[in-house]
Amino acid sequence: MRAGPAPHTAALGRPPLRRPVHLFPGQGDFSVSALVASVHAVPGLRTAVREVFEQVDTVAGERGLPELGPRLLGPHPPSGRDLAHATTGTAQLALFGASVAIHRALSTAYGAPSAAVGVSFGEIAALTAAGVFAVEDGARAAHDLAVALTFCPGGLTALACSERAAHVLLEEAGATEAVVAVVNDERSVVVAGPVAALALVEKAAADRRTAAVRLRLPFSSHHPALGHAAEAFATAVRAYPCHDFRFPVHSAVAGRRYGPADDLAARLADCLVRPAAVPPVLNQVLAYRPGALFEAGTGSALASSARTVLTAALVPAPPVHAPLAEPGFPW
Protein backbone atom coordinates (compact mmCIF):
# COMPACT_ATOMS: atom_id res chain seq x y z
CA MET A 1 0.00 0.00 0.00
CA ARG A 2 2.44 2.60 -1.09
CA ALA A 3 3.82 4.27 -4.16
CA GLY A 4 6.49 2.26 -5.97
CA PRO A 5 10.20 3.07 -6.12
CA ALA A 6 12.37 2.97 -9.21
CA PRO A 7 12.38 -0.47 -10.87
CA HIS A 8 15.05 -3.02 -10.11
CA THR A 9 16.62 -4.25 -13.33
CA ALA A 10 18.82 -7.19 -12.32
CA ALA A 11 18.85 -9.90 -14.95
CA LEU A 12 16.91 -13.02 -14.07
CA GLY A 13 18.72 -15.44 -16.35
CA ARG A 14 17.35 -18.96 -16.71
CA PRO A 15 14.17 -19.95 -14.87
CA PRO A 16 14.80 -20.92 -11.24
CA LEU A 17 15.17 -24.63 -10.54
CA ARG A 18 13.02 -24.32 -7.41
CA ARG A 19 9.43 -23.13 -7.53
CA PRO A 20 8.86 -19.40 -7.00
CA VAL A 21 6.68 -17.55 -4.50
CA HIS A 22 4.17 -15.01 -5.83
CA LEU A 23 3.56 -11.74 -3.99
CA PHE A 24 0.12 -10.12 -4.30
CA PRO A 25 0.17 -6.39 -3.42
CA GLY A 26 -2.57 -4.11 -2.14
CA GLN A 27 -4.16 -1.14 -3.84
CA GLY A 28 -1.52 1.56 -3.43
CA ASP A 29 0.79 0.56 -6.29
CA PHE A 30 -1.42 -0.11 -9.34
CA SER A 31 -0.15 1.19 -12.69
CA VAL A 32 -2.58 0.78 -15.57
CA SER A 33 0.03 2.07 -18.03
CA ALA A 34 2.50 -0.64 -16.98
CA LEU A 35 -0.17 -3.29 -17.46
CA VAL A 36 -1.15 -2.01 -20.91
CA ALA A 37 2.46 -1.73 -22.09
CA SER A 38 3.27 -5.25 -20.92
CA VAL A 39 0.12 -6.72 -22.43
CA HIS A 40 1.18 -5.42 -25.85
CA ALA A 41 4.77 -6.64 -25.42
CA VAL A 42 4.23 -10.08 -23.85
CA PRO A 43 1.96 -12.52 -25.76
CA GLY A 44 1.58 -14.86 -22.77
CA LEU A 45 0.44 -12.03 -20.55
CA ARG A 46 -1.97 -10.81 -23.20
CA THR A 47 -3.53 -14.27 -23.37
CA ALA A 48 -3.84 -14.46 -19.58
CA VAL A 49 -5.41 -10.99 -19.39
CA ARG A 50 -7.93 -11.89 -22.09
CA GLU A 51 -8.90 -15.15 -20.37
CA VAL A 52 -9.13 -13.73 -16.84
CA PHE A 53 -11.05 -10.62 -17.83
CA GLU A 54 -13.62 -12.66 -19.76
CA GLN A 55 -14.58 -14.03 -16.34
CA VAL A 56 -14.14 -10.74 -14.48
CA ASP A 57 -16.34 -8.94 -17.00
CA THR A 58 -19.16 -11.39 -16.31
CA VAL A 59 -19.19 -9.99 -12.79
CA ALA A 60 -18.78 -6.42 -14.04
CA GLY A 61 -21.99 -6.89 -16.02
CA GLU A 62 -23.78 -8.31 -12.97
CA ARG A 63 -22.73 -5.33 -10.87
CA GLY A 64 -23.49 -2.66 -13.49
CA LEU A 65 -19.85 -1.85 -14.24
CA PRO A 66 -18.27 -1.37 -17.68
CA GLU A 67 -16.38 -4.21 -19.33
CA LEU A 68 -12.65 -3.99 -18.71
CA GLY A 69 -11.03 -6.66 -20.88
CA PRO A 70 -11.83 -5.19 -24.32
CA ARG A 71 -10.76 -1.74 -23.12
CA LEU A 72 -7.46 -2.89 -21.61
CA LEU A 73 -6.63 -4.90 -24.74
CA GLY A 74 -7.97 -2.38 -27.22
CA PRO A 75 -6.39 0.59 -28.98
CA HIS A 76 -7.68 3.16 -26.47
CA PRO A 77 -7.15 1.69 -22.99
CA PRO A 78 -8.33 3.55 -19.88
CA SER A 79 -5.92 5.50 -17.73
CA GLY A 80 -5.58 5.15 -14.01
CA ARG A 81 -7.53 8.40 -13.68
CA ASP A 82 -10.30 6.95 -15.85
CA LEU A 83 -10.60 3.91 -13.59
CA ALA A 84 -10.47 6.01 -10.43
CA HIS A 85 -13.38 8.14 -11.63
CA ALA A 86 -15.44 5.24 -12.97
CA THR A 87 -18.25 3.47 -11.10
CA THR A 88 -17.28 2.25 -7.63
CA GLY A 89 -15.42 -1.03 -7.88
CA THR A 90 -14.09 -0.58 -11.41
CA ALA A 91 -10.52 0.08 -10.29
CA GLN A 92 -10.64 -2.81 -7.82
CA LEU A 93 -11.85 -5.24 -10.49
CA ALA A 94 -9.04 -4.06 -12.76
CA LEU A 95 -6.40 -4.61 -10.07
CA PHE A 96 -7.84 -7.97 -9.07
CA GLY A 97 -7.97 -9.20 -12.66
CA ALA A 98 -4.49 -7.90 -13.41
CA SER A 99 -2.97 -9.71 -10.41
CA VAL A 100 -4.64 -13.02 -11.26
CA ALA A 101 -3.58 -12.69 -14.93
CA ILE A 102 0.03 -11.85 -14.03
CA HIS A 103 0.09 -14.86 -11.72
CA ARG A 104 -1.15 -17.07 -14.57
CA ALA A 105 1.40 -15.73 -17.04
CA LEU A 106 4.23 -16.19 -14.52
CA SER A 107 3.03 -19.73 -13.78
CA THR A 108 3.12 -20.55 -17.48
CA ALA A 109 6.63 -19.15 -17.82
CA TYR A 110 8.20 -20.38 -14.56
CA GLY A 111 5.91 -23.04 -13.15
CA ALA A 112 3.24 -22.87 -10.49
CA PRO A 113 4.34 -21.16 -7.26
CA SER A 114 5.12 -23.06 -4.10
CA ALA A 115 3.24 -20.44 -2.08
CA ALA A 116 1.79 -16.94 -2.20
CA VAL A 117 1.85 -13.88 0.04
CA GLY A 118 -1.25 -11.69 0.11
CA VAL A 119 -1.09 -8.11 1.37
CA SER A 120 -4.39 -6.41 2.18
CA PHE A 121 -6.60 -6.27 -0.96
CA GLY A 122 -4.09 -8.62 -2.61
CA GLU A 123 -5.34 -11.46 -0.41
CA ILE A 124 -8.42 -11.83 -2.61
CA ALA A 125 -6.33 -12.34 -5.74
CA ALA A 126 -3.92 -14.64 -3.87
CA LEU A 127 -6.76 -16.87 -2.69
CA THR A 128 -8.25 -16.89 -6.18
CA ALA A 129 -4.89 -17.79 -7.73
CA ALA A 130 -4.64 -20.65 -5.22
CA GLY A 131 -8.04 -21.97 -6.36
CA VAL A 132 -9.87 -21.18 -3.12
CA PHE A 133 -12.26 -18.85 -4.95
CA ALA A 134 -13.39 -19.20 -8.53
CA VAL A 135 -12.31 -16.19 -10.59
CA GLU A 136 -15.89 -14.91 -10.76
CA ASP A 137 -16.33 -15.19 -6.99
CA GLY A 138 -12.97 -13.54 -6.37
CA ALA A 139 -14.11 -10.69 -8.60
CA ARG A 140 -17.37 -10.46 -6.66
CA ALA A 141 -15.40 -10.29 -3.40
CA ALA A 142 -13.19 -7.55 -4.87
CA HIS A 143 -16.27 -5.54 -5.78
CA ASP A 144 -17.83 -6.20 -2.38
CA LEU A 145 -14.72 -4.81 -0.73
CA ALA A 146 -14.81 -1.73 -2.95
CA VAL A 147 -18.39 -1.10 -1.83
CA ALA A 148 -17.43 -1.63 1.82
CA LEU A 149 -14.59 0.87 1.46
CA THR A 150 -17.07 3.60 0.51
CA PHE A 151 -18.15 3.41 4.17
CA CYS A 152 -14.56 3.81 5.41
CA PRO A 153 -13.93 7.58 5.57
CA GLY A 154 -10.43 8.92 6.00
CA GLY A 155 -7.22 8.18 4.20
CA LEU A 156 -3.80 6.57 4.19
CA THR A 157 -0.35 8.16 4.37
CA ALA A 158 2.94 6.44 3.57
CA LEU A 159 5.86 7.32 5.86
CA ALA A 160 9.52 6.63 5.10
CA CYS A 161 10.42 5.39 8.57
CA SER A 162 10.28 2.35 10.82
CA GLU A 163 7.22 1.20 12.71
CA ARG A 164 8.75 2.41 15.97
CA ALA A 165 9.44 5.85 14.51
CA ALA A 166 5.90 6.01 13.14
CA HIS A 167 4.44 5.43 16.60
CA VAL A 168 6.62 8.26 17.94
CA LEU A 169 5.34 10.53 15.16
CA LEU A 170 1.73 9.71 15.97
CA GLU A 171 2.32 10.55 19.61
CA GLU A 172 4.16 13.79 18.84
CA ALA A 173 1.42 14.83 16.42
CA GLY A 174 -1.32 14.17 18.95
CA ALA A 175 -3.06 12.13 16.25
CA THR A 176 -4.93 9.85 18.60
CA GLU A 177 -7.28 8.61 15.86
CA ALA A 178 -4.47 7.56 13.49
CA VAL A 179 -2.92 4.09 13.60
CA VAL A 180 -0.05 2.24 11.97
CA ALA A 181 -1.92 0.31 9.29
CA VAL A 182 0.76 -1.44 7.22
CA VAL A 183 4.41 -2.21 7.92
CA ASN A 184 6.13 -2.75 4.57
CA ASP A 185 9.70 -3.01 5.84
CA GLU A 186 12.05 -1.31 8.30
CA ARG A 187 11.96 1.91 6.24
CA SER A 188 8.34 2.11 5.10
CA VAL A 189 4.98 2.10 6.87
CA VAL A 190 1.46 3.33 6.14
CA VAL A 191 -0.74 5.07 8.68
CA ALA A 192 -4.53 5.25 8.52
CA GLY A 193 -7.12 7.52 10.04
CA PRO A 194 -9.33 10.55 9.57
CA VAL A 195 -8.01 13.14 7.14
CA ALA A 196 -7.51 15.70 9.92
CA ALA A 197 -5.42 13.23 11.92
CA LEU A 198 -3.30 12.39 8.87
CA ALA A 199 -2.65 16.10 8.33
CA LEU A 200 -1.24 16.29 11.87
CA VAL A 201 0.96 13.26 11.21
CA GLU A 202 2.23 14.72 7.94
CA LYS A 203 3.07 18.00 9.68
CA ALA A 204 5.01 16.15 12.39
CA ALA A 205 6.80 14.14 9.71
CA ALA A 206 7.80 17.32 7.88
CA ASP A 207 9.18 18.74 11.13
CA ARG A 208 11.30 15.60 11.48
CA ARG A 209 12.24 15.63 7.80
CA THR A 210 10.57 12.28 7.32
CA ALA A 211 9.02 11.79 3.87
CA ALA A 212 5.23 11.51 4.00
CA VAL A 213 2.98 10.89 0.99
CA ARG A 214 -0.81 10.78 1.08
CA LEU A 215 -1.92 7.80 -0.97
CA ARG A 216 -4.39 8.55 -3.76
CA LEU A 217 -7.04 6.29 -2.27
CA PRO A 218 -10.30 7.88 -1.08
CA PHE A 219 -10.76 5.69 1.98
CA SER A 220 -9.17 4.44 5.18
CA SER A 221 -8.38 0.80 5.92
CA HIS A 222 -6.68 -1.38 8.54
CA HIS A 223 -8.32 0.76 11.21
CA PRO A 224 -10.19 -0.58 14.28
CA ALA A 225 -13.02 1.95 13.80
CA LEU A 226 -14.14 0.21 10.59
CA GLY A 227 -15.83 -2.76 12.23
CA HIS A 228 -19.27 -2.13 10.73
CA ALA A 229 -17.88 -2.15 7.18
CA ALA A 230 -15.85 -5.26 7.99
CA GLU A 231 -18.93 -7.13 9.19
CA ALA A 232 -20.87 -6.22 6.04
CA PHE A 233 -17.98 -7.35 3.84
CA ALA A 234 -17.63 -10.67 5.68
CA THR A 235 -21.34 -11.33 5.25
CA ALA A 236 -21.06 -10.77 1.49
CA VAL A 237 -17.99 -13.00 1.08
CA ARG A 238 -19.51 -15.81 3.11
CA ALA A 239 -21.92 -16.43 0.21
CA TYR A 240 -19.09 -17.61 -2.05
CA PRO A 241 -17.95 -21.25 -1.89
CA CYS A 242 -14.38 -22.02 -0.88
CA HIS A 243 -12.34 -24.83 -2.40
CA ASP A 244 -9.10 -26.57 -1.47
CA PHE A 245 -5.84 -24.66 -1.66
CA ARG A 246 -3.69 -25.55 -4.68
CA PHE A 247 -0.75 -23.97 -2.84
CA PRO A 248 -0.34 -22.22 0.55
CA VAL A 249 -1.34 -18.59 1.01
CA HIS A 250 0.29 -16.49 3.72
CA SER A 251 -1.55 -13.42 4.98
CA ALA A 252 0.22 -10.23 6.04
CA VAL A 253 -2.78 -9.42 8.24
CA ALA A 254 -3.15 -12.83 9.88
CA GLY A 255 0.64 -13.10 10.07
CA ARG A 256 0.60 -16.75 9.03
CA ARG A 257 -0.43 -19.33 6.49
CA TYR A 258 -4.15 -19.82 6.06
CA GLY A 259 -5.50 -23.29 6.84
CA PRO A 260 -8.64 -25.34 6.21
CA ALA A 261 -10.12 -24.35 9.58
CA ASP A 262 -10.00 -20.61 8.80
CA ASP A 263 -13.19 -18.64 8.29
CA LEU A 264 -11.79 -16.90 5.22
CA ALA A 265 -14.62 -14.39 4.99
CA ALA A 266 -13.81 -13.19 8.50
CA ARG A 267 -10.08 -13.24 7.83
CA LEU A 268 -10.48 -11.12 4.67
CA ALA A 269 -12.66 -8.72 6.63
CA ASP A 270 -9.80 -8.41 9.14
CA CYS A 271 -7.99 -6.45 6.43
CA LEU A 272 -10.35 -3.56 7.14
CA VAL A 273 -9.75 -3.45 10.89
CA ARG A 274 -6.37 -5.05 11.64
CA PRO A 275 -2.84 -3.97 10.63
CA ALA A 276 -0.78 -5.75 8.01
CA ALA A 277 2.86 -6.65 8.63
CA VAL A 278 4.78 -7.73 5.54
CA PRO A 279 8.21 -8.75 6.98
CA PRO A 280 7.06 -11.75 9.07
CA VAL A 281 5.27 -13.50 6.20
CA LEU A 282 8.14 -12.82 3.81
CA ASN A 283 10.46 -14.54 6.24
CA GLN A 284 7.98 -17.42 6.58
CA VAL A 285 8.01 -18.20 2.86
CA LEU A 286 11.77 -18.67 2.90
CA ALA A 287 10.93 -22.10 4.34
CA TYR A 288 9.75 -23.10 0.85
CA ARG A 289 13.28 -22.43 -0.47
CA PRO A 290 11.89 -20.51 -3.47
CA GLY A 291 13.97 -20.06 -6.58
CA ALA A 292 12.66 -16.50 -6.86
CA LEU A 293 9.95 -14.19 -5.58
CA PHE A 294 7.75 -12.53 -8.22
CA GLU A 295 5.40 -9.61 -7.63
CA ALA A 296 2.02 -10.48 -9.14
CA GLY A 297 1.10 -6.86 -9.64
CA THR A 298 1.86 -3.98 -11.95
CA GLY A 299 4.28 -2.10 -9.69
CA SER A 300 7.40 -2.83 -7.69
CA ALA A 301 6.76 -1.61 -4.13
CA LEU A 302 6.14 -5.05 -2.63
CA ALA A 303 9.16 -6.48 -4.43
CA SER A 304 11.27 -3.63 -3.06
CA SER A 305 10.12 -4.40 0.48
CA ALA A 306 10.87 -8.07 -0.08
CA ARG A 307 14.44 -7.25 -1.08
CA THR A 308 14.90 -5.08 1.99
CA VAL A 309 13.45 -7.69 4.34
CA LEU A 310 15.12 -10.75 2.88
CA THR A 311 18.53 -9.11 2.59
CA ALA A 312 18.47 -8.84 6.37
CA ALA A 313 17.59 -12.53 6.82
CA LEU A 314 20.16 -14.96 8.09
CA VAL A 315 19.94 -17.22 5.02
CA PRO A 316 20.85 -16.49 1.40
CA ALA A 317 18.01 -14.48 -0.11
CA PRO A 318 16.44 -15.57 -3.40
CA PRO A 319 16.18 -13.02 -6.22
CA VAL A 320 13.09 -10.83 -6.16
CA HIS A 321 11.49 -9.43 -9.31
CA ALA A 322 8.66 -7.11 -10.27
CA PRO A 323 8.11 -8.27 -13.86
CA LEU A 324 5.95 -5.41 -15.12
CA ALA A 325 8.30 -2.79 -13.66
CA GLU A 326 11.52 -4.34 -15.01
CA PRO A 327 12.42 -3.59 -18.64
CA GLY A 328 13.45 -6.74 -20.43
CA PHE A 329 12.06 -9.17 -17.85
CA PRO A 330 12.33 -12.60 -19.55
CA TRP A 331 8.86 -14.05 -19.86
**The 3-state secondary structure of 212-244, one letter per residue:** EEECCCCCCCCCHHHHHHHHHHHHHHCCCCCCC
| DSSP E strand boundaries for the chain | 21-24, 115-118, 155-159, 179-185, 188-193, 212-214, 249-251, 256-257, 276-277, 293-295, 320-321
pLDDT digits (tens, 9 = 90+) for 93-114: 999 999 999 999 999 999 999 9
pLDDT digits (tens, 9 = 90+) for 160-178: 999 999 999 999 999 999 9
91/60 Cα distance (integer angstroms) = 11
Q: Which domains does the chain have, with CATH numbers?
A: 21-150+223-325 (3.40.366.10), 155-214 (3.30.70.250)
What distances in angstroms separate CA 109 from CA 20, 102, 216, one per listed residue?
11, 11, 33
* Confidence (pLDDT) at 56: 98
Axis crossing angle, helix 135-149 with helix 122-129, rounded to the nearest 10: 170
Bigger pLDDT: 196 vs 28: 196
The DSSP code for 251 is E
| 216 CB-side CA count, 13 A | 11
How large is the average pLDDT for residues 11-36?
A: 82
pTM, to two decimals:
0.93
Burial class from Cβ neighbours inside 10 Å (0-12, 13-18, 19+) for residue 176 reads exposed
Give the pairing of strands 320-321 and 293-295: parallel
- Residue 4 reports pLDDT greater than 50: no
- Residue 85 reports pLDDT greater than 60: yes
- Residue 289 reports pLDDT greater than 70: yes
What distances in angstroms separate CA 176 from CA 172, 236, 258, one per listed residue?
10, 31, 32
Burial class from Cβ neighbours inside 10 Å (0-12, 13-18, 19+) for residue 232 reads middle
* Confidence (pLDDT) at 314: 59
- Residue 275 reports pLDDT greater than 50: yes
To the nearest whole number, what is the mean pLDDT of the chain? 93
% of the chain residues with pLDDT over 90: 90
The DSSP code for 188 is E
* Confidence (pLDDT) at 29: 87
* Confidence (pLDDT) at 18: 86
Q: Assess contact for 64 and 13: CB atoms under 8 A.
A: no
Least confident range of 6-15, 21-30, 69-78: 6-15
- Residue 309 reports pLDDT greater than 70: yes
pLDDT confidence bin for 8, thresholds 50/70/90: very low
Q: Provide the CA 72 distance to its chain's centre, in angstroms.
A: 20
β-partners of residue 276 are 182
Q: Assess contact for 27 and 121: CB atoms under 8 A.
A: yes
156/178 Cα distance (integer angstroms) = 9
